């Protein structure tokens, strides 16, 4: 985000004066990094039309180029201090009715203040592109038949061609243009012109959907294997009872459903949604993108029939259709990833966030919002309850529960008194991994599980075949890096390429070290591709399949593999965290974590938390059916509290070790962080700018704000842009917000340098 200084903002107004200067004024904001509301006069012809929440076209800047902005308020008089004779006029209104309702206007204004972006940028993030460009619709001249003609159709005396055309038009469910009708009635335009002259047919200019409503994505699921609704367990009943006053009473309350995997959290969400639906209200369910599997969707569809599913693979037209039908109140249940938090439900009664600890709820481009925190704010503004569910709540959420802001509702037993799976740690420092990734104990456990007709899941959170390539010359020993990024390249054997996982750049394998020309580069590290090869060699009699973003490129491939695994055709499923989340396969009796340490040594204060979550989540993938499950975790750090606690399913034990560490360093949840990232093609320029930024911040900093840096980010270069960051910390968010609001308008990064402001950062690389 680059910020514009005060002088340039003034240029956005015209120099020339417009004639009349009274009448209502519209406050307009733009999707630009300028935190200001601009006033425009509403001309008489638009007075009855313009209202807050619409997009409008207005002249902008010296050249008066038409620009699209969002109307956020209407004032009767010109704002004080403004010369009415210099105000420009609104040109026209793009949305009628408005796209944004009052609650969303308020929510986006809060976002702008909290996440240090402009109101216009926040608004722009709320409205999907497909809605802005009205994807999937067309404006045309459509034919209509007046009601009285329709009623007396049989009595009309008409030439055959005209009679036929009129009959076809009356029968059509879809709006027809003249060209459509010529085609369908197999006639020329003559008969239609004649019908219009007689007044039997009229024309209107309208916007219409191009095709019929997408039956597939909203249709009710008439699955034959529909299950009866289960009777709630005692724990589930207790949780529902605790939430009932809020569910039935228009009350803001945040509930944390802290339940182990398989404790029946999803069943509680379904019951809670039913309660608010019965009152004619709508529910939004946020899940991580990765959990938007057919399995999750089927479960919601079976229960509620018509639901809207908002995932990242929708076309603009589909997104637009969903938005319209949600805004029209045609769908009561909306299930989606991060941005579904903005779904334009009119009578929202409940928000549910499953796996609330997931980092994918954080958006990594401006506005850098966290969907969980935005959802809590939305619930507060709309005075409704919100349920956060997780087996491993984020420590921020846990702390909010400790402080009494959220009500924690524990669900500590699995449904049907199924035991939690037994987790065994395999200390890799004592194992010889001659074959590759699988230790002998893990191989033996796989043999046993497969012989016993069970299924196996293997998790390895690294794609590719070899995870690094290194020069064997001891005086060089360089790791091959991407040309554009400060990142080691991964070798993908199937494609015979070295690939950068940060920018996706590909290059052929060099015959020798690019730096010292030593031949015979050494390839090391194990990715999922190599693990797949190892499994195929070790278990040739069983079907195995790899699931990662390389093998799951085709639409539908995810679903295909999962259903083959469900049917038992695939016996071994291996992959990245894609397989760790939200899946429920009763016949999985063994889960192997090939390397639990991949996240442990990251330069990130959440490294331990991520490791704990990952191991605990995969461990929950087994023992969900009638057969007990077993989990084997390979690690070099079996004594680390994150791995030790995860192996004992001991969330509170983990928290007891981790929170004091966070408190000691003032890290979240005990302090607030803001990360300022400067990037640009010229490293010296970025560094100088960040140093100046530090000085500006220091001069304005209230007490209690500490600053670290500027320093190169852990990944110092991405896509040929050098990156430096400055970290601001304070005990509460207020002083940081005040500081950013005071300094941000004065910052103007030079040349090609860009500045991003990340409030409550999740990614620290
Ligand atoms: P979670 O979301 O906590 O992992 P689920 O809601 O998916 O748990 O429940 C785990 C399994 O138990 C599912 O197969 C679900 O259908 C089943 N289940 C949940 N609640 C009940 C209940 N009250 N009676 C019987 N089975 C239940
Ligand atoms: Zn790269």
631-652: pLDDT as tens digits:
999 999 999 999 999 999 999 9
Measured CA to CA, the distance from residue 646 to residue 675 in angstroms comes to 30
Residue 87 pLDDT exceeds 80: yes
Structure tokens at 204: 């209107």
* Rounded-to-5 percentages of helix, strand, coil across the chain: 35, 25, 40
Instruction: Please check the confidence at residue 265 and state whether its pLDDT lies above 60.
Output: yes
144 band by pLDDT with thresholds 50, 70 and 90? confident
User: 259 CB less than 6 Å from ligand 1?
Assistant: yes
pLDDT digits (tens, 9 = 90+) for 573-607: 999 988 876 677 888 899 999 999 988 988 899 99
Q: Is the CB of 603 under 6 A from ligand 1?
A: no
Residue 23: pLDDT over 70: yes
Strands, DSSP E only, in 110-196?
Answer: 137-144, 176-177
Look at residue 452 and give its three-state secondary structure.
coil
Instruction: Using the predicted structure, report yes or no on whether residue 15 has a pLDDT greater than 80.
Output: no
Q: Which residue's CA is minimally distant from atom 25 of ligand 1? A: 230
**Residue from 228, 262, 267, 300 whose mutation best tests the ligand 1 pocket (most atoms within 8 A of CB):** 267
Of the listed ligands, the closest to the CA of 480 is 2
The yes-or-no verdict on residue 754 having pLDDT over 90 is yes
Rounded to whole angstroms, the Cα distance separating 692 from 698 reads 10
Ligand 1 centroid–CA 233 distance in Å is: 9
Query: What gap in Å lies between CA 24 and CA 47, rounded to an integer?
Result: 7
Number of CB atoms found within 10 A of residue 405's CB? 12
Tens digit of each residue's pLDDT (9 = 90 or more) over 120-142: 999 999 998 888 877 777 777 78
| Angstrom distance (rounded) from CA 574 to CA 577 | 10
pLDDT (tens digit, 9 = 90+) per residue, 663-708?
Answer: 998 899 999 999 999 999 999 999 999 999 999 999 998 888 999 9
Q: What class has domain 137-209? A: mainly alpha
pLDDT of residue 324: 87
pLDDT at 725: 96
Domain 419-462+526-664 has CATH 3.55.40.20: no
Alpha-carbon distance 34 to 61, whole Å?
13
For ligand 1, atom 9, the nearest C-alpha belongs to 264
Residue 722: its H or E element: strand 721-730
SS3 (DSSP) at 174: coil
User: Helices 733-743 and 102-115, interaxial angle, to 10°?
Assistant: 80
Q: What is the pLDDT of residues 437-462, one digit of tens each?
A: 899 999 999 999 999 999 999 999 99
- β-strand partners of 408: 256
Identify the nearest ligand to the CA of 482 by its number: 2
User: What is the 8-class DSSP label of residue 156?
Assistant: -
Average confidence score pLDDT of the chain: 87
Which residues pair with residue 587 across a beta bridge?
none
Supply the pTM of this predicted model. 0.85
Please report which ligand is nearest the Cα atom of 581: 1
Q: Which architecture does CATH list for 3-103?
A: 3-Layer(aba) Sandwich (3.40)
Dig out the tokens for 529 from the structure. Answer: 């591709």
Give per-residue burial for 289-321: e unless 16+ CB within 10 Å, then b.
ebbbbebbbebbbbbbeebbbbbeebebbbbbb
* Domain segments of the chain as ranges: 3-103, 137-209, 216-416, 419-462+526-664, 672-759
Q: State the Cα–Cα distance between residues 693 and 699, nearest whole angstrom.
A: 10
pLDDT above 70 covers a percentage of the chain that reads: 93
Q: Which range is least confidently modeled, 146-150, 259-263, 436-440?
A: 146-150
Rounded to the nearest whole angstrom, what is the distance from the C-alpha of residue 99 to the centroid of ligand 1? 38
Is the shortest distance between the CB of 638 and ligand 1 below 6 Å?
A: no
Q: Quick: pLDDT tens for 166-218.
A: 988 888 777 788 888 888 888 888 999 999 888 898 887 777 666 544 434 44
pLDDT attached to residue 13: 37
* Nearest ligand 1 atom to alpha carbon 261: 4
Nearest atom in ligand 1 to 263's CA: 3
Same CATH fold assignment for domains 216-416 and 419-462+526-664: yes
d(C-alpha 408, C-alpha 96), whole Å: 43
User: Does the domain spanning 672-759 belong to CATH 3.30.70.600?
Assistant: yes
Does the beta carbon of 263 lie inside 6 Å of ligand 1? yes
Instruction: From 583, 290, 246, 263, select the one nearest 392 (Cα to Cα).
Output: 263
Please give the Cα distance from 331 to 324 (Å, whole number): 10
Q: Which CATH architecture has domain 216-416?
A: 3-Layer(aba) Sandwich (3.40)
Query: What is residue 5's predicted lDDT score, i.e. its pLDDT?
Result: 35
Q: How far is the CA of 592 from the centre of ligand 1 (A)?
A: 23
User: Ligand 1: does its nearest atom lie under 6 Å from the Cβ of 281?
Assistant: no
List, in sequence order, every beta strand (DSSP E) within 216-332: 253-259, 282-286, 307-310
Ligand 1: centre distance to CA 2 (Å): 48
499 touches 492 (CB < 8 A): yes
Which atom of ligand 1 is nearest to 299's Cα? Answer: 16
277 CB within 6 A, ligand 1: no
Question: Within its chain, how far is the Cα of 581 from the centroid?
Answer: 15
Q: Is the CB of 266 under 6 A from ligand 1?
A: yes
- Rounded CA separation 128/314 (Å): 11
The pLDDT value recorded for residue 20 is 46
Cα(121) to ligand 1 centroid in Å equals 41
Positive or negative: CA dihedral 710, 716, 722, 727: negative
């Amino acid at each position: 985000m680059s910020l514009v200084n005060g002088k340039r903002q003034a240029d956005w107004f015209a120099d020339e004066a417009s004639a009349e200067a009274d009448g209502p004024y519209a406050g307009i904001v733009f999707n630009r990094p300028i935190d200001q509301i601009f006033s425009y006069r509403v001309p008489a012809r638009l007075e009855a039309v313009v209202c807050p929440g619409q997009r409008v076209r207005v002249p902008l800047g010296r050249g008066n180029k038409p620009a699209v902005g969002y109307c956020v308020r209407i004032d009767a008089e010109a704002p004080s201090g403004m010369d009415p004779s210099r105000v420009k006029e609104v040109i026209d209104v793009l949305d009628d009715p408005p796209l944004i309702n009052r609650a969303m206007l308020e929510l986006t204004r809060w976002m702008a203040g909290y996440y240090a972006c402009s109101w216009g940028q926040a608004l722009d993030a709320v409205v999907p592109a497909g809605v802005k460009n009205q994807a999937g619709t067309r404006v045309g001249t459509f034919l209509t038949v007046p009601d009285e003609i329709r009623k007396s159709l049989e009595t009309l005396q008409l030439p055959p061609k005209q009679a036929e055309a009129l009959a076809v038009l009356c029968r059509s469910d879809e709006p027809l243009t003249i060209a459509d009708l010529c085609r369908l009635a197999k006639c020329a335009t003559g008969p239609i012109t004649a019908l219009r002259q007689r007044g039997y047919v009229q024309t209107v200019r309208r916007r219409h959907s191009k095709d019929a409503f997408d039956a597939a994505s909203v249709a009710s699921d008439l699955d034959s294997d529909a299950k009866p609704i289960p009777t709630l367990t005692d724990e589930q009943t207790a949780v529902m009872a605790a939430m009932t006053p809020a569910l039935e009473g228009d009350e803001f309350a945040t509930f944390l459903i802290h339940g182990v995997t398989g404790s029946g959290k999803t069943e509680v969400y379904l019951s809670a949604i039913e309660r608010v639906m019965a009152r004619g209200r709508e529910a939004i369910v946020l899940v991580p993108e990765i959990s938007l599997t057919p399995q999750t969707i089927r479960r919601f569809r079976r229960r509620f029939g018509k639901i809207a599913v908002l995932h990242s693979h929708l076309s603009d037209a589909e997104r637009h259709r969903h938005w319209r039908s949600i805004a029209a109140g045609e769908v009561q249940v909306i299930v989606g990833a991060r941005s579904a938090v903005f779904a334009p439900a009119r009578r929202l009664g409940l928000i549910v966030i499953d796996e609330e600890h997931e980092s994918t709820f954080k958006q990594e481009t401006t506005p850098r919002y966290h969907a969980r925190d935005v959802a809590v704010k939305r619930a507060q503004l709309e005075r409704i309850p919100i349920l956060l569910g997780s087996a491993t709540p984020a420590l921020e959420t846990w702390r909010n529960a400790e402080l009494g802001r959220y009500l924690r509702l524990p669900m500590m037993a699995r449904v049907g008194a199924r035991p939690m799976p037994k987790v065994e740690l395999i200390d890799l420092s004592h194992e010889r991994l001659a074959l590759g990734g699988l230790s002998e104990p893990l191989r033996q456990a796989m043999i046993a599980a497969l012989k016993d007709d069970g299924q196996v899941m293997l998790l390895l959170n690294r794609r590719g075949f070899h995870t690094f390539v290194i020069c064997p010359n001891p005086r060089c020993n360089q790791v091959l890096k991407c040309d554009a990024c400060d990142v080691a390249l991964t070798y993908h054997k199937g494609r015979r390429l070295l690939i950068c996982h940060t920018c996706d750049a590909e290059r052929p394998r060099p015959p020798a070290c690019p730096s010292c020309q030593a031949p015979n580069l050494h390839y090391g590290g194990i990715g999922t591709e190599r693990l797949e090869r190892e499994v195929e060699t070790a278990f040739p009699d069983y079907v195995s399949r790899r699931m990662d973003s390389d093998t799951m490129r085709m639409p539908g491939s995810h679903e295909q593999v999962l259903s083959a695994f469900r049917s038992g055709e695939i016996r071994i499923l291996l992959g990245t965290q894609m397989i760790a989340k939200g899946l429920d396969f009763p016949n999985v009796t063994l889960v192997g974590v090939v390397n639990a340490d991949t996240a442990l040594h990251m330069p990130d204060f959440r490294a331990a938390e991520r490791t704990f979550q990952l191991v605990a989540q995969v461990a929950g993938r087994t023992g969900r059916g009638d057969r007990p499950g077993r989990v084997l975790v390979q690690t070099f750090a079996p004594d680390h509290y994150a791995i030790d606690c995860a192996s004992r399913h001991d969330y509170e034990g983990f928290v007891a070790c981790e929170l004091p560490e966070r408190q000691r360093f003032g890290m979240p949840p005990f302090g607030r962080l803001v990360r300022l990232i400067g990037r640009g093609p010229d490293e010296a320029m970025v560094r100088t700018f960040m140093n100046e930024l530090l000085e500006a911040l220091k001069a304005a900093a209230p007490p209690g704000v500490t600053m670290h840096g500027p320093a190169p980010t852990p990944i110092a270069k991405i896509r040929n842009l050098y990156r430096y960051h400055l970290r601001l910390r304070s005990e509460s968010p207020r002083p940081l917000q005040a500081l950013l609001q005071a300094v941000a308008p004065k910052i103007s990064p030079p040349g090609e340098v860009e500045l991003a402001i990340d409030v409550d950062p999740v990614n620290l690389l």
